Amino acid sequence: MIGRIVGALVGREISRREGSDGFKGAALGALAVGGMRRLGPLGLLLGGGYAAKKAYDRRKAGKLAGNRY
């Protein structure tokens, strides 16, 4: 279950980066879940770290611009 949540977060970040519709992000997120399962706990850690880093960068950029989340 946690792997699916992390996969959804990774898919959302990919979709935001590409600036396209959500279908591409959802498809890549589903592929990310498969990859994370193959890697086991390390894959979950890597996927979660990627999503957390992107969220941190977005928040940091928002604070520099004066936006609040």
35-68 per-position pLDDT tens digit: 777 888 888 788 788 888 888 888 888 777 665 5
pTM attached to this predicted model: 0.57
Going by pLDDT thresholds of 50, 70 and 90, the confidence category of residue 4 is: confident
Q: What does the alpha-carbon distance between residue 21 and residue 65 come to, in Å, rounded to a whole number?
A: 26
Q: Pick 28 or 54 by higher pLDDT.
A: 54
The structure tokens 């994370």 sit at 36
- The contacts of residue 44 (CB under 8 Å, 6+ apart) are 2, 3, 6, 36
- CA-nearest of 5, 6, 24, 2 to 14 is 24
Of residues 68, 22, 27, 19, the one with CA closest to residue 7: 27
